[in-house]
Structure 1
């Protein structure tokens, strides 16, 4: 019984770590997306202002 509980605890810890890693990855993707959007907007506005 104790062995089963240890295995279950280890599985839960691994699942918890995977979820935390995925959360961090999603945050990094959002930050990268926002930076790319900002760079695109900056270039877009600069082109509009220099052409007119």
Structure 2
């Protein structure tokens, strides 16, 4: 049986902290079932403009 694994990282752009950074979120797919892990603990600076 074939197992399909995907990891998707994305920015939570609707939330920016006081430093102007947004959290990097992680979503894992295993055989097309989704698991949202949440924040990876890695903030990312967002350029506004």
The TM-score, its normalising length taken from structure 1, stands at 0.21
**Bigger radius of gyration:** 1
- Structure (1 or 2) with the greater helix fraction: 1
- Structure (1 or 2) with the greater strand fraction: 2
Q: For CA contacts below 8 A with separation 6 or more, give which structure has more relative contact order.
A: 2
The TM-score, its normalising length taken from structure 2, stands at 0.22
